[in-house]
Structure 1
Amino acid sequence: MQSNKALNYSFEGKTIEEIAAERSMAASTIEGHLALYVKTGQIDVYKLVSEEKVKKISDYFLKAENTMLGPAKVALNNEVDWSELRYVMNYLEFKKTTRKDPT
């Protein structure tokens, strides 16, 4: 998978912009790859988003009636960017899929 390079670069400490420039891709494409890795648990969301923002975004999504990003961004006073919303939403999805069944 092409996006594996984004994963490797992220562990080398490169910024999204540096990865995008090296790969001749848009930063948004790299962010999409990283969001996928958050959703599969290959990257810890806290490597991409501050603890404070993870909590703020998580609190919103756990209480919201839907998971649409536009209303979330507005409700959070535009204090978070689109990629942070995606990363945290994917993190919450990952947490849901990895919960053990108590039965």
Structure 2
Amino acid sequence: MKIDEFLNPAEEEVTDNLDDLDSLILSQFSTEGAESEDNDEVYEMLPKISANEALEALYKPRLFEEQQADGNRHLLKELLHQERALIEKKMKSVPD
């Protein structure tokens, strides 16, 4: 058996129409079906979180990581970075 026949056997020859392929691929990304299914769901508005509430929420995981013997230093650094960013944002929003 030749290698070309092995890789591309005649009995497995595919003859897809380009239009069929386009519609098949586009149907994977189409939102028409998803929209009709989602219309039945009711979305509730999420409450607006203040900078103070966000800072309070960041405090506990940061404290937890600090208390761990094998705490994740990368996570701790990121939490501290987020706290600083929120404090800066809070300071900028306060009128002079």
Fold-level similarity (TM above 0.5)? no
Larger Cα-atom Rg? 2
| TM bucket normalised to smaller | under 0.3
TM-score for both structures, normalised by structure 2: 0.28
Which gives a bigger RCO, structure 1 or 2 (Cα 8 Å, sep 6+)?
Answer: 1
